[in-house]
Amino acid sequence: MMPEWYVIIAALAGISLLGIQWSALLFALPVLALAILAPAAHACVGALRATFTSTPASRGGLWKMRALTAFLHMSQPLARLWGRIRFGLTPWRRAAVAGIASPWPWPQTFTSGVRSGRIL
């Protein structure tokens, strides 16, 4: 369910396509199949375990709901990856604090406004 897994799948697909020109790269095809099979199996198991609040009118309707659930399971990491890339949440982004940060806690006291049992 990691979005980066889909980047790995894309890289393996690219290597497999290059295997058309250089047959030594065709080793990536079985690895690509396993890389695709893992999230697909996870999505199918999630769809089979899903419970729905409404009961479909037919058995085909139930399978349509399960297929939609499996599709959403598969597309959710892609949507997260797209959001991370689009809005700048990347692994190479620096997590820096603006200004100078103190390494010691800065204790502050707060008063509630209660004195001698009277609320002010």
pLDDT computed for residue 96 by the predictor: 59
Residue 114's DSSP bridge partners are 119
- List the chain domain ranges: 3-92
pTM score, two decimals? 0.60
Least confident of 13-17, 32-36, 49-53, 102-106: 102-106
Please, is 92 exposed, middle or buried when counting C-beta atoms within 10 Å of its C-beta (0-12, 13-18, 19+)?
A: exposed
pLDDT in tens, 58-91: 888 889 999 999 999 999 988 888 887 787 766 6
CB 14 within 8 A of CB 26: no
